[in-house]
Amino acid sequence: MYRPRRYLMCPPEHFRVTYSINPWMDLTKPVDVRLAMAQWSDLRDCYRSLGHSVDELTPHPDLPDLVFTANGGLQLEDRVLGARFAHPERYGEATVHEEWHREQGRTEFQRAQHTNEGEGDFAVTADWLLAGHGFRSSPLAPQEAQEYFGRPVIALDLVDPRFYHLDTALCVLDDGPDGEEGRTRGTVMYYPGAFSPGSRAVLRRLFPDALVAAESDALALGMNAVSDGHHVVLPQAAVGLLDPLRERGFEPVPIDLSELLKAGGSVKCCTGELR
């Protein structure tokens, strides 16, 4: 079900690839900052045209990955669990996010004790938090989030380094209206090959009607999408997802973020949600 959202983004004014911390980052490929800015602006304007609001972080010259605002933390209602980044190149982003939230008047802010990268590895449904771990987040991060938010957490084991965050392998399409007690709510799309056998079994049990993506669409970072419950903004190269999304009643909105893909990010990585 569609509802207006509020997003946090950061212009990629200082975007570059000068280090490699995931399989997508190739130091030999040049980055076009003007193109990255243009593509990012298209995404921001797309959200606003769909009825959503966008807050913006101020870019920092020493933090080229600050554009990937989904990684800075997880906010639910008045509480924020700030990220604890896995790689030192990104440590400074956690402070930028914390300062921004405190400037917004959010006093219920906790910096994570265990490594996690915010909405990179946490996805929100009506019933649960889905929590990926294996590459960038600690196996202890799901328990920490459950204790802090008081919401059941489902831990999912990521096993393919190309899909190093949960948001590269799974997208919540509809977080679900309140339904009958005991009934699964919400729906997702995901790429099974990114998960361990046990985690795949859990996803099949929780989301029997999920959209199961092919590898070609996953490698286009098609799971790194943002849904408002009706519109699904996704990388334009993930063409195999368009008809299946329409068949399920969603409206796909393809967008080109190919320049930002050089750092291993796309639509969702650039979009933190303020709930």
170-189 confidence digits (pLDDT tens): 999 998 764 444 334 579 99
The C-alpha atoms of residue 232 and residue 245 are separated, in whole angstroms, by: 8
Q: Is 270 a catalytic residue?
A: no
In a domain, 1, yes or no: no
Q: What DSSP designation does 198 have?
A: H
State mean pLDDT over 164-170: 97
In a domain, 269, yes or no: yes
Domain assignment of residue 118, given as a range: 6-273
CA dihedral 255, 258, 259, 263 (to 10 degrees): 110
- Supply the pTM of this predicted model: 0.94
State mean pLDDT over 232-249: 97
In a domain, 32, yes or no: yes
Strand blocks (E) in the chain: 6-9, 53-56, 73-76, 79-82, 108-111, 122-124, 129-133, 153-157, 170-174, 187-190, 211-212, 226-227, 231-235, 251-255, 272-273
Residue positions counted in the chain: 275
In a domain, 124, yes or no: yes
In a domain, 109, yes or no: yes
SS3 call for 133: strand
Q: What does the pLDDT read at residue 19?
A: 87
Which residue among the candidates 10, 171, 269, 270 is catalytic per the annotation?
A: 269
What pLDDT digit, counting tens, does each position of 24-42 carry?
888 888 899 999 999 999 9
CA dihedral 193, 84, 127, 147 (to 10 degrees): 130
The C-alpha atoms of residue 164 and residue 121 are separated, in whole angstroms, by: 9
State mean pLDDT over 45-64: 97
The C-alpha atoms of residue 226 and residue 244 are separated, in whole angstroms, by: 16
State mean pLDDT over 122-136: 95
The C-alpha atoms of residue 179 and residue 181 are separated, in whole angstroms, by: 6
The C-alpha atoms of residue 223 and residue 235 are separated, in whole angstroms, by: 9
Q: Is 165 a catalytic residue?
A: yes
Q: What does the pLDDT read at residue 26?
A: 85
- Judge whether residue 11 has pLDDT over 80: yes
- Which amino acid type is present at position 235? P
Pairing type for strands 211-212 and 187-190 reads parallel
Asked if residue 192 lies in contact with residue 204, where contact means CB atoms within 8 angstroms, the answer is: no
In a domain, 248, yes or no: yes
For residue 7 the two structure tokens come to 């997003």
How many other CB atoms are found less than 10 A from the CB of residue 155?
21
In a domain, 70, yes or no: yes
In a domain, 83, yes or no: yes
Q: What does the pLDDT read at residue 172?
A: 98
What H or E segment, with its residue span, contains residue 215? Answer: helix 215-219
For residue 103 the two structure tokens come to 């400037």
Domain CATH code at residue 185 = 3.75.10.10
Confidence of residue 119 (pLDDT cuts 50, 70, 90): very high
Least reliable range by pLDDT among 15-29, 86-100, 159-173, 245-259: 15-29
Cβ-in-10-Å burial (0-12, 13-18, 19+) of 16 comes to middle
Query: Total structural domains in the chain?
Result: 1
The C-alpha atoms of residue 235 and residue 77 are separated, in whole angstroms, by: 29
The C-alpha atoms of residue 141 and residue 153 are separated, in whole angstroms, by: 10
- Judge whether residue 217 has pLDDT over 50: yes
Which residue among the candidates 165, 171, 231, 270 is catalytic per the annotation?
A: 165
Q: What does the pLDDT read at residue 260?
A: 95
The C-alpha atoms of residue 109 and residue 53 are separated, in whole angstroms, by: 22
Nearest Cα residue to 64 out of 100, 27, 26, 16: 16
Q: What does the pLDDT read at residue 178?
A: 46
